[in-house]
Amino acid sequence: MKAMLAMIVSAGLLAAATPGVVAQAGPHVLVPGPVVSRDLRYGPAPRQVAQLFVRKKAGTAPLIVYLHGGGWSAGTPRAGSAGVQPDHFTGAGYAYATLGYRFVPEVTLEAQLADVARGIALLRHQKGVDPDRVVLLGHSSGGHLAALLGADPAWLEAARVPFDAVKAVILLDPAAIDIPPIMAAGRGAGTVKQFYQPAFGDDAERQAALSPLHHAAPPNAPAWLMLHDVNNPLAGLQSQQLSVALVAAGAREATVLPVGNTTHVRLNDEIGRPNDTATAEIDAFLMRVFPDTRRTRMR
């Protein structure tokens, strides 16, 4: 088993730590009109920023919060706004935000999680946002952050965000769901040394505490969608493990889907583009989470 995991780690870790850049376009637009963006600050550091996108006449809508990848030590929120994600999701009836955070090793991973929670707290109180219907969308290491925030109530509650405000979590090629076996199997490997070691250190208890899989006992966000590049076996294996644990703990949905004809970066970049498989799955998932949204927007 350890040898098999080591092979999976070597095949999947490099992809799982690679920063990405996003793009979009959408099904048919339910909410017409221009997209308005607002730059927000939730702290004094340059990376403690958020950008909120809403349709000018959309009213109050569920909020999708995008968390970028980059191995916890790189990346940019523009990975979720440089392309077409904002237009796609606001056109489908949602408010959409990208959220920056400080990097390891400038701060600890715990401080990074606290940053994200504080940013969500600020976004919930913006005009056009329904504060009680939040979706976390994370790519790569941002997927790890989204999964942990959706499974461990401590981070959001410390920022005075009601945990039950998070209605769903969407993971794109998540970089880490269960950290201790990754650290054990990949010790000394370049990607583990460069990204995982600075983020998670050597303390096995801390690694477990920062593993979403170790927080699968209730409460959790009620609905989960995990999409992974079919050629990233680590993301696929760990997503399946988390799915089984979440369903056993009472989650309404925890779907894992491999995506073919893509890469770790393209999976993120092509969200929102016409005829994109991952986008279609996300749109269908969001309609299951918020079945009233389409009816409301089409009145």
Rounded Cα gap, residues 260 and 6, in angstroms: 23
Average pLDDT over residues 66-87: 96
pLDDT digits (tens, 9 = 90+) for 184-210: 988 777 899 999 999 999 999 999 999
Residue-wise DSSP of 167-212: EEEEEES-S-SSHHHHHHHHTT-HHIIIIIHHHH-S-HHHHHHT-G
Average pLDDT over residues 152-175: 98
pLDDT digits (tens, 9 = 90+) for 217-230: 999 999 999 999 99
Residues 3 and 182 sit within 8 Å (Cβ to Cβ): no
Residues forming beta bridges with residue 40, ordered by sequence position: 50
Residue-wise DSSP of 105-159: TTS-HHHHHHHHHHHHHHHTTSTTEEEEEEEEEEETHHHHHHHHHHH-THHHHHT
Q: Which CATH number fits domain 2-289: 3.40.50.1820, 3.30.420.40, 3.30.70.20, 3.20.20.70?
A: 3.40.50.1820
Q: So what's the pLDDT on residue 294?
A: 60
Domain assignments of the chain as residue spans, ordered by start = 2-289
Residues 6+ apart with CB under 8 A from 32: 55, 91
Instruction: Tell me if the pTM is above 0.85.
Output: yes
Rounded Cα gap, residues 228 and 172, in angstroms: 6
